[in-house]
Amino acid sequence: MSSVTDTAPVPATRTAAGEPRKPRKPRGGFFLGLAAWIIGILFVLPVVWMVITSFHSETDAATNPPSLGAPLTLQGYREFFGASTGTSPWPPLANSMTASVLSTLLVLLLAIPAAYALSIRPVRKWTDVLFFFLSTKMLPIVAGLLPIYLFAQSVGLLDNIWLLIIFYTSMNLPIAVWMMRSFLAEVPVEMLEAAAVDGAGLTRTLRSVVLPVVAPGIAATSLICFIFSWNELLFARVLTATVAQTAPVFLTGFVTSQGLFLAKVCAAAVVVSLPVIIAGFAAQDKLVQGLSMGAVK
């Protein structure tokens, strides 16, 4: 079994003794900060460009160099909501939400007990099991595309959102087991023993001892699974048609080889990223706590 810490996790801003850490000023800190800012801005710029472009008219969006100061319009968003085609974006958005939320719940339902059996009460040969889970991710995912398509066709599950739910669940399960295992490994054995001494049963221990410690981990795992399922395009494009179409597939439909489309696509991309951004902000506190405590350690 991996080493289990014998103290509660210590926030990074405090020393091992619990004293507030004195701010260190390493040499070159200024340049590191500058580099961090530059890299941060480089990462944000495309997103900023996307948001600005989404409020431009198609002709302003297509100029080179980009005309960032062009007049703003909501035309791109009107197009996304079906102004000229009459096609509603809500069914694909609802499909994406269904697939992401349900598959995330299923992943949690399966991953947490599995991770429990691999960390707190490890089964025999638990390392083998762990690597077996991971090995399912070693095949490039695209290699499974055709077999899964043919399978879905023969069992009549093409264009069915349940196929995507099952697929996303299995796609995310190994990652979730690994993440949850490292979070559960952080639960101090002493706490479990103390609970046992106090006469707590399994359910009580799980609810009152384990859960509060791993809640940030669950938040982080759910967010990752949600993002992966929400953004998945390759399989959704192949396995769905008119009924179970998801938002990313719908989004690509705005690209055309004849005519301008940048503003429309940017508007669509902004709307489609909103749920992930909202979920990210909602889970932010838990997430930072979770990441700095578990996986990174």
Partner 1 sequence: MARNGATSSRLVAVGLAAALLGTGCAGWGGGGGGGDSLNVLMVNNPQMVDLQKLTAEHFTKETGIRVNFTVLPENDVRDKISQEFSSQAGQYDVATVSNFEIPIYAKSEWIAPLTPYIEQDPEFDQDDIFAPMTKALSGEDGQVYGEPFYGESSFLMYRKDVLEAKGVRMPADPTWPEVADIAAKVDGAEPGMAGICLRGQPGWGQLFAPLTTVVNTFGGTWFTEDWQAQVDSEPFRKAVRFYVDLVRAHGENGAPQAGFTECLNNVVQGNAAMWYDATSAAGSLEAEDSPVKGKMGYAPAPVVETRSSGWLYAWSWGIQQASEKKDDAWKFISWASGKEYEALVGKEIGWSSVPAGKRASTYENPDYLAESKAFAEPTRAAITSADPENPGVQPRPAIGIQFVGIPEFPDLGTQVSQYVSSAIAGQTTVDEALKKGQKLAEDVAERYRSRES
Q: Which residues bind partner 1 (CB under 8 A)?
A: 62, 84-87, 90-92, 94-95, 98, 101-102, 105, 109, 149-150, 153, 158-162, 207-208, 211-212, 215, 218, 237-238, 240-245, 249, 252-259
Which positions ≥6 away from 182 have C-beta within 8 Å? 119, 217, 294, 295, 297
CB 251 → partner 1: shortest distance, Å?
A: 11
Going 166 to 230 to 81 to 263, the CA torsion angle's sign is negative
Going 196 to 6 to 129 to 170, the CA torsion angle's sign is positive
Which is closer to partner 1, CB of 130 or CB of 232? 232
CB 208 → partner 1: shortest distance, Å?
A: 5
- Rounded to 10°, the helix 90-119/161-184 angle is 40
CB 102 → partner 1: shortest distance, Å?
A: 6
Which is closer to partner 1, CB of 135 or CB of 256? 256
Which is closer to partner 1, CB of 169 or CB of 182? 169
CB 230 → partner 1: shortest distance, Å?
A: 15
Which is closer to partner 1, CB of 129 or CB of 191? 191
In sequence order, the β-bridge partners of residue 99 are: none
265: closest CA among 68, 96, 70, 89?
89
What is the distance between the alpha carbons of residues 27 and 276, in angstroms, rounded to a whole number? 38
CB 218 → partner 1: shortest distance, Å?
A: 8
Which is closer to partner 1, CB of 127 or CB of 252? 252
